[in-house]
Amino acid sequence: MIKDSNFRPLPDFLTIQNSSIEGLGLFATENIKNGTDFGMTHIYDQRFKDHYIRLPLGAFINHHEIPNCKAVFSEEDKVLGKIKHIRIIATKDIAKGEEITVKYVINKLDNPNWEHEYEATQ
């Protein structure tokens, strides 16, 4: 076991529960402030069919027409440095027990760049 690792599949303030939207979803275990950075949901890697690796945070977040978070495309992480990825940021205060949602549309293109293959709209 790696004792010095700071990796956590989900932030401490989130849990996975049954969702009324679809299957399982992410839920706040405490109040979350507007602007909170939840971390990475997807990491770009051209070796994969869809050119990204979906992390646990990205696997359980559900779509909603009036979301409480947004997806942000980024080229760099403050800890890992230069790494192309998508992360989730809260766009409003979120109450304990509330489901975490993002508004997204999936558009499959014939010859996509990764930023446009899966379009995250706000």
Q: What's the average pLDDT block by block, 10 residues per block, for the chain (122 residues)?
A: 62 89 92 94 86 85 90 86 90 96 67 47 41
Residue 51 is predicted with a pLDDT of 83
Q: Is residue 1 part of a domain?
A: no
Q: Is residue 4 part of a domain?
A: no
- How far apart CA 116 and CA 122 sit, in angstroms, is 14
Q: Is residue 20 part of a domain?
A: no
Q: How many domains does the chain have?
A: 1
Q: Is residue 23 part of a domain?
A: no
Q: Is residue 110 part of a domain?
A: yes
- Give the domain extent around 56: 34-92+101-117
Strands (E), 1-122: 14-18, 24-28, 37-44, 52-54, 62-63, 69-77, 81-90, 101-102
Phi, psi for 44 (deg, rounded to 5): -70, 130
Would you say 88 and 48 are in contact if contact means Cβ atoms under 8 Å apart? no
Residue 62 is predicted with a pLDDT of 86
Q: Is residue 51 part of a domain?
A: yes
Residue 114 is predicted with a pLDDT of 45
Q: Is residue 54 part of a domain?
A: yes
